[in-house]
């Protein structure tokens, strides 16, 4: 319960802050936020604590019986191995990240890795396959697929030197057909499915809520940025993060 309250408190503060102040990394990196770290290195350092902690805790559990918490634990590890060690290697001309932003992300990934890993261990043998957990697995895989598809679609936009530093309209691939923040929507759906797969355990719900409250505003900012800078973007009929609504 304490972990749930802490993550929810951090999520509430984060949302209020990131709606007002565009988180200064990627396209919003700007002077005044202190020393900068190259994008690839920042992603590796800030995300690495979660897979390291989650793998250490996974090694202590019996995964021969694939109950929902074991599957959720394996998928958490797979997501973060990709995010920390594979995704950064393919970043093309990414903008640098301020040390302060990297340190905040590192702190969150350390705490959340520990929180999710210990919760998943405690849930061992306590959450069975049911309509909720089976649907959660489907939702999580759907979200993960669209998150990765959208991230790699964005990456492919920087393939030519003429587009090396520019932001162009993402093509109608996957969830980009409906929203500007397809990678963010995929991530939110993924962790919502994870919370269901964990039987609605509070730390998992808190993580899903934190994700939505952290990157939802970023999608809203990206959408406004596209509408402002790309002629005819409005005509694509996309919303920011929730199809047809927001």
List of residues contacting ligand NDP (CB under 6 A)? 26-27, 39, 91, 94-95, 147, 151, 154-155, 157-158, 167-168, 170, 183-184, 187, 211, 214-215, 218
Kindly tell me which of 78 and 128 has the beta carbon lying closer to ligand NDP.
78
Closest approach, Cβ 229 to ligand NDP, in A, equals: 10
Q: How far is the CB of 129 from ligand NDP (least distance, A)?
A: 26
In the complex with ligand NDP, which residue's Cβ is closer, 141 or 154? Answer: 154
In whole angstroms, how close is the CB of 162 to ligand NDP at the nearest point?
12
Dihedral, CA of residue 77, residue 49, residue 39 and residue 170, to nearest 10: 30
Strands annotated E in the chain: 36-37, 97-98
Q: Closest distance between ligand NDP and the C-beta of residue 53, in Å? A: 16
> What string of DSSP letters covers 37-93?
E-HHHHHHHHHTHHHHHHHHHHTTS--SS--HHHHHHHHHHHHHHIIIIIGGGG--S
Least Cβ distance, residue 155 to ligand NDP (angstroms): 6
User: Is residue 3 within 8 Å of residue 80, measured between CB atoms?
Assistant: no
Specify burial of residue 169 (Cβ count, 10 A radius: 0-12, 13-18, 19+). Answer: middle
Instruction: Give the nearer residue to ligand NDP in terms of CB position, either 121 or 155.
Output: 155
- What values do phi and psi take at 218, rounded to 5? -65, -40
CB of 64 to ligand NDP, least distance (A): 30
Take residue 128 and report the two structure tokens written for it: 């069975």
67 vs 181 by CB, closer to ligand NDP = 181
Name which of 63 and 152 has its Cβ closer to ligand NDP: 152
CA distances from 11 to 42, 57, 222 (A): 22, 25, 20
Structure tokens at 109: 């990934």
Is the Cβ of residue 67 or residue 106 nearer to ligand NDP in the bound state?
Answer: 106
SS3 188: helix
Look at residues 80, 208, 54, 200 and name the one whose alpha carbon lies nearest to residue 135.
Answer: 200
């Amino acid at each position: 319960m304490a972990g749930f309250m802490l993550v929810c408190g951090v999520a509430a503060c984060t949302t209020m802050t990131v709606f007002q102040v565009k988180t200064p990394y990627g396209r919003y990196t700007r002077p005044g936020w202190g020393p900068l770290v190259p994008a690839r290195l920042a992603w590796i350092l800030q995300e690495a604590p979660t897979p390291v902690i989650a793998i250490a805790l996974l090694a202590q559990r019996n995964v021969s019986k694939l109950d929902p918490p074991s599957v959720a634990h394996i998928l958490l590890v797979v997501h973060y191995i990709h995010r920390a060690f594979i995704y950064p290697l393919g970043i093309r001309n990414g903008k640098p990240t301020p040390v302060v932003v990297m340190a905040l992300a590192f702190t969150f990934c350390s705490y959340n890795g520990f929180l999710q890993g210990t919760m998943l261990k405690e849930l061992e043998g306590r959450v069975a396959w049911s309509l909720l957990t089976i649907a959660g697995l489907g939702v999580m895989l759907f979200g993960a697929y669209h998150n990765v598809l959208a991230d790699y679609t964005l990456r492919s936009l920087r393939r030519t030197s003429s587009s090396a530093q520019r932001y162009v309209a993402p093509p109608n691939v996957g969830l980009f057909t409906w929203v500007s923040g397809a990678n963010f929507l995929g991530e939110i759906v993924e962790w919502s499915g994870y919370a269901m797969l964990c039987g609605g355990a509070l730390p998992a719900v808190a993580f899903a809520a934190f994700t939505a409250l952290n990157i939802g505003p970023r999608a809203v900012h990206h959408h406004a940025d596209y509408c402002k800078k790309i002629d005819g973007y409005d005509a694509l009929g996309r919303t920011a993060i929730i199809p047809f609504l927001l």
